[in-house]
Amino acid sequence: MSYKSTILPGKDRMIILDLFTATTLLVFIILVTKQLFYNRWPGGFHIYPPGPPGHILVGNMLDVPAKKPWVHYANWAKIYGDIMHLEAFGDHLIIISNAMLANDILERRSRMYSGRPYPGVGELTGWNFALTLQDYSETWRKNRRTWQQNFRPDAVVQQHSAITQCVGIFLRNLLQTPENFMCHIDLLSGGLTLSSMYGITINSGNDDLLVHSKKTLHTIDTVFSPQFVFFTSWFSFLCFVPSWVPILGLFTQYIEHVRQLCHEMQEIPFHKVMADINTGAINDSLVARLVQKNMADGGPDEEIQRIKNMASTAFAASADTTLSAIGTFFLAMAKNPKCQERAWQEIDEVVGRGQLPTFEDRKSLPYIEALYREVMRWHPAIPLSVAHTATEDNIYDGYYIPKGSMVFANIWAMTHNEQVYEDPYQFKPERFLTTESELNDDSTILAFGFGRRGCVGRHFAEAVLWLTIASVLSCFKIESEKDLNGKAVDIPESYSEGPGLFSYPLPFRCSITPRHAEVGLLI
């Protein structure tokens, strides 16, 4: 048989090609349909939560916004509901926009939703020391236990002296150069952690340790973004390309750079503590006390590593969260003078002008407490939570949430829910008060997260933020600057848009002046 005789006639060949094309298309449709509607649940057909329609193969990958994703998700929630599903290249994202649902899923079912979706990225970049980013495991449980022992409410009381001292420095800096208040906030957040954790005193926002920690922290915005996680998952071979290889080696260079930053942030301040211990220098920091206790008890080396991990995590985590919350406080006061006046009245009646507020005054200052809660609600520092991971297949309210799904709590949507908070975009501390001016039962700070992955340093953070707010209000008047005609200059309510975990107010100008003549002597 000749070669030519094996070739089908043109008409028959077209039929075969059409049949092949149709079969391929049918298989493709079946695969896509299975991807969209079926799942790995044995023997069943289940429906994902509603969400925006995806594109073929890539799903919603092109729909995931890089800027202000919390706002986009909140708008989508008005269309698709408070529990929403997105899919990108087979990865499932669940967005929860209602606090009650988040509590039901992430608190009550925390056993199934305490994982993290990117432990491999942590190992790759050196960020695996951070408790917040570690996957749910025995190692995580041991590390969390160390945190709980040293950051529970009664343990934080031991840090009140260090907090008070650092807030005092912050007040003096404000008095001397009020125009640099954002720099002073940076110094407060980083300086307080360095002092309480390591016994290190810094006097400038340009201190090398503080600058280094901010550089390290900002790498989180890249290495834990959905795009980076996806990239390392699908193109993991790039992690092994030598750094000297043109173009492709740039990825390896960046990984090595991040690993070096993380290593130095852990080791440099810790070595300072060990040097003090070895030379007998006075160091009453938390790390020094824990290390000395472990050495005296003959404890294991792994406990030293846990102490180191805890301290470096606290050092990194305190920077942008404190900057955001206290920056938001200054912005709110400059734009809402009546709130400030009511706060002054309460402080003057309860504390007086002859002394600064103390932690013992907190229960007697309900309006200051309400103002603190409103700061945390109005513009949460982390508007979209760090992702939880479903550790097993689960059905919730008839919807299927497959194992491995990344579950996000949209804190922004929850704190701006019009059904819960009237006029949610307005700053109104009185929403947390009863008609008798007592605190109501809405005491949950949603920004601290949910379940077993909630912020374990929240009691320390609350103490720092509350005392800072109360002390600043006791001493200063914050208002908009005036133009040449004496009219208040409007301050834009502008915040960083992402990508990244944190949202903080963009630089703005305001007037900060002493409330009374005794402020200089008081601080």
Domains in the chain: boundaries: 38-522
Which of 307, 261, 255 has its CA nearest to residue 145? 307
Which residue positions form the known binding site? 455
User: What is the structure's pLDDT at 259?
Assistant: 93
Average pLDDT, the chain: 87
User: What is the structure's pLDDT at 40?
Assistant: 41
Q: Which CATH class is domain 38-522?
A: mainly alpha
Q: Is residue 305 over pLDDT 60?
A: yes
Which residue positions form the known binding site for heme? 455
115 vs 135: CA distance, rounded Å: 5
> Which pLDDT band, with edges at 50, 70 and 90, does 41 fall under?
very low
Which of 153, 154, 169 has its CA nearest to residue 356? 169
Contacts of 363 (CB under 8 A, 6+ apart): none
Residue 247 near residue 350, CB atoms below 8 Å: no
Q: Is residue 284 over pLDDT 50?
A: yes
Mean pLDDT of 345-356: 96
Q: Is residue 160 over pLDDT 50?
A: yes
Residue 477 near residue 514, CB atoms below 8 Å: yes
Q: Is residue 332 over pLDDT 80?
A: yes
Which of 476, 466, 464, 375 has its CA nearest to residue 171? 476
Q: What tokens were used for 195?
A: 């002092």
Q: Is residue 125 over pLDDT 80?
A: yes
